[in-house]
């Protein structure tokens, strides 16, 4: 006999449950977590290099770096002021998931840390589907990628709470229609907090750093 059985479950529900455990672990120690996502070359690591020295005066920071291979990014984060930088090589996987983050978190003594910054694998598709358990997800977009990216990768733009538009120093040289870009973003994610920055000149970095500080402090209360 054939019967139809209702299931009605989220396909990635298991990842989401594990992400909740990661969040609980962070909360237990009062650590604020941020998941940084972007396409390859948008400037995630450069942004960390600009951000870490300013935050390191105030907080003890751990960085977990997801990459398909190498520890280049974790080394750069450690040099820029991270108290601990853990490299998670995904072995070809195109994104971090909650399991991989949990593994990376095992290497960190969270009683020694205030802030966890996760640098996801460079990719605008897959990381959007796999929540990690961080408090905020942030997308780093960059001017040379083009103004059509919100239209092409709506899932990524929908799944974040803050957006950094990097490399704004290149705006005079690249046909990037900021108005068109922002209209797409506004439709996809009306509550998004946005920062226009240049990691090359340092423009806009302070606003972004101040936002992190405000979020960390609000989370402590």
Partner 1 sequence: MHELPVTESILEITLRHAKTHNATKVTDIYLVLGEWSTIIDDSIQFHWDILSEGTLAVGERLHFGRIPVELLCLDCDHTYAPTDKELICPNCQSIRVRVTKGDEFNIDSIEIET
For binding to partner 1 (CB under 8 A), which residues are involved? 1-15, 93-95, 97, 125-126, 128-130, 148, 150-151, 154-155, 158, 183-184, 186-188, 190
Q: How far is the CB of 150 from partner 1 (least distance, A)?
A: 8
Nearest to 120 by CA among 149, 105, 150, 100: 100
Nearer to partner 1, 3 or 111 (CB): 3
Q: How far is the CB of 209 from partner 1 (least distance, A)?
A: 28
E strands, 39-113, are: 61-67, 84-89
Backbone angles phi, psi at 7, to 5 degrees: -115, -55
Q: Are 119 and 90 in contact (CB under 8 A)?
A: no
Q: How far is the CB of 137 from partner 1 (least distance, A)?
A: 15
Nearest to 68 by CA among 92, 33, 32: 92
Token pair, residue 163, equals: 């957006």
Nearer to partner 1, 59 or 130 (CB): 130
Q: Are 185 and 164 in contact (CB under 8 A)?
A: no
Q: How far is the CB of 34 from partner 1 (least distance, A)?
A: 22
Nearer to partner 1, 81 or 127 (CB): 127
Nearer to partner 1, 184 or 207 (CB): 184
């Amino acid at each position: 006999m054939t019967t139809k059985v209702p299931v009605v479950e989220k396909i990635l529900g298991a990842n989401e449950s594990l992400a909740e455990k990661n969040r609980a672990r962070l909360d237990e120690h009062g650590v604020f977590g941020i998941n940084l996502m972007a396409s390859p070359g948008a400037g995630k690591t450069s942004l960390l290099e600009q951000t870490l020295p300013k935050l390191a005066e105030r907080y003890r920071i751990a960085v977990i770096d997801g990459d398909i291979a190498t520890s280049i990014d974790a080394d750069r984060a450690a040099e820029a002021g991270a108290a601990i930088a853990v490299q998670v090589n995904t072995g070809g996987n195109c994104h971090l998931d909650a399991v991989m983050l949990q593994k990376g978190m095992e290497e960190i003594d969270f009683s020694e840390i205030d802030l966890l910054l996760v640098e996801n694998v460079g990719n605008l598709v897959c990381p959007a589907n796999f929540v990690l358990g961080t408090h905020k997800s942030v997308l780093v977009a960059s001017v040379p990628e083009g103004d059509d990216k919100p239209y092409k990768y709506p899932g990524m733009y929908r799944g974040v709470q803050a957006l950094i538009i990097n490399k704004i120093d290149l705006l005079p040289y690249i046909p990037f229609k900021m108005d068109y870009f922002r209209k797409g973003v506004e439709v996809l994610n009306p509550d998004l907090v946005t920062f226009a920055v240049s990691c090359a000149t340092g423009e806009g970095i302070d606003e972004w750093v101040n936002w992190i500080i405000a979020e960390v402090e609000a989370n402590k209360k």
